[in-house]
Structure 1
């Protein structure tokens, strides 16, 4: 890889689009298993962790086996790790999603893991109905895979820093494998009414009020990569606000606050800018949707906190 891991690379959607489409389909195979786990509001349990090598499911537990699926972008393979053994499926040679799915199910079966509960491809507008129907031959692009992992890793670091001081319910930062976006979401205990006429999984995501900040590689209708933010339910009064970073904007048609990657990578401290952007999104929720301001704790590094006893402890003789 030509760029340093600490540099923020240029992301051109048109160059990455084939791999975005490939990986969006690929990670749904392992991701489907998370639907068997205890439901967490807003589907917070389904996200894939951004690892030092790629994207990994949480530990999954069937009746007789515990396992995880690691989609290793930097190694061009998928590793199924279980207490019964492990299997590695190569992605370096051209194959279809249908062929991969069949090979995955055979390998998983050898470890005592049943197939995913659903073969349906979801949240991809132009996708075939199911894994078995997607017979298009897809080539692995090593450079694009490295760029995608690098972008996800850098964005995750910023989002984890932003998310850390929130005192309410907050699932871990990770990739939502349906829409293939990196998400950091904050909830509060306020039931909301999902919009009617939408699929059940979308209605489940709207059961509680939330503020979400994340990263997307873009898409055919909005090809620019970058950070996004939104508030559910969407409040009035978002026009004309500042979003914490010069170049961040409010897009009323999309209902999103946007911080383009092209702007972010030119800043002196992009990671800090992600936190400033997220703070501005949350502050908008406080001022326009009556979100509590007292759910934000101190933002400090862990070593500093460990050397600073709580005030109550310091007051004891």
Structure 2
């Protein structure tokens, strides 16, 4: 595939155009994610509150609410947040520029009208600006075309991450979007307990961080960036073994970021590669191998060949 052809599947994400829309979408996603958080029993490492990539956008999956379940999905094709209840009820909230307070109010009214009213924590997590949702009257920008390109990128990343996930027999997370940091991530576990995490993430209780990092992990993810950082893939490990920051990883565009404490690979380097899937795949594999080898993971018992459609994993 020629680099120019990649735009058909791996869209260009211009940081200056992407960030205003992503910032708005992250705040909306926090409201939706906190609805799920308020109703769903805690699952290890916060996996019960994440969003998943769908054929139209991002979804909570089913959320329990007494006798019924409901689902909330950002539909970037139709440009709406769709709320569906298992009794047949449905409401839609338009995705458009405006105040977060207005979006919050519309979501709460829609939930109440469907009989699934919820009370949520009103403060954004892991964001420097922590204005409570009902008080956030600042006009927020939102470009539906930019949002669709971001989602189209997520579809590609989700596919490659899920292929990577099939090559691991040990405990491994789903591919999921954490609305706190707004990263789509996949995490492998060594099976051993980790030292108590120091915490310190902005506007996030340390107890949540410590539960998330209760066991040794090697994580990779996709982050859409901020005003000072272009969209990028990352890879990190906790606890970081000596030498991890100087490990040899690929492709050539990957680098260690001392400020972030993780390896970074620009999204643009993947998008414009001759084979984007291979470029991202080698980043996932080499950063995991560095974490596992330097950390003394029992790799032989944790890994397997990549999964193939209609082919059970060979045993014996």
Task: Give the aligned partner of residue 90 of structure 1.
Answer: 94
For 1:131, the equivalent position in structure 2 comes to 133
Query: Structure 1 residue 115 and structure 2 residue 118: aligned?
Result: yes
The residue aligned with 1:195 is: 197
2:304 is equivalent to residue 302 of structure 1: no
- Aligned-residue Cα RMSD (Å) equals 2.0
Q: Is the 8 A contact 1:47 1:173 kept in 2?
A: no
Could you list the runs of 5+ residues in structure 2 that have no partner in the other structure?
A: none
Which runs of 5 or more residues in structure 1 are unaligned? 313-317
* 1:297-316 deviation line (CA, Å, top 9, x unaligned): 1113123x15x8x566xxxx
* Counterpart Cα distance in 2 of 1:293 and 1:116: 44
1:164 and 2:166 correspond:
yes
| Deviation, structure 1 residue 5 | 6.9
- The separation in 2 between residues aligned to 1:108 and 1:77, in whole angstroms, is 15
Secondary structure in 2 aligned to 1:302? coil
Alignment equivalent of 2:104, drawn from 101, 104, 128: 101
Which residue of structure 1 aligns with residue 234 of structure 2? 228
In the alignment, the residues of structure 2 paired with residue 32 and residue 170 of structure 1 have an alpha-carbon distance, to the nearest angstrom, of 24
Aligned match of 2:217: 210
Higher relative contact order (CA 8 A, sep 6+): 2
Q: TM-score, normalised by structure 1?
A: 0.89
Would the aligned equivalents of 2:9 and 2:152 in 1 still touch at CA under 8 Å? no
* Matching of residues 1-40 of structure 1 within 5 Å: 6-35=8-37, 36-40=39-43
Give per-residue Cα distances to partners, 1:262-317, cap 9 Å, x unaligned. 211121221122221111111112221112212111113123x15x8x566xxxxx
How far does residue 65 in structure 1 lie from its aligned partner after superposition? 1.9
Report if aligned partners of 1:30, 1:116 keep a CA contact under 8 Å in 2: no
Contact 2:7–2:271 (CA<8 Å) still a contact in 1? Answer: no
- Residues 237 and 159 of structure 1: is their aligned pair in 2 closer, same or farther, counting only changes over 3 Å? same
> Compared with structure 1, are the counterparts of its residues 137 and 300 closer, same or farther at alpha carbon in structure 2 (3 Å cutoff)?
same
Q: Deviations over 1:18-57 (max 9, x none)?
A: 1011000001111113324232322122221111111100
Whole-Å Cα distance in 2 between the matches of residues 140 and 116 of structure 1? 26
1:266 is the counterpart of 2:272: yes
Aligned equivalents of 1:243, 1:186: Cα separation in 2: 18
3-state DSSP class of the match of 2:195? coil
The partner residue of 1:292 within 253, 278, 298 is 298
Q: CA deviation at 1:232?
A: 0.7
Deviation at 1:108, TM superposition (A): 0.5
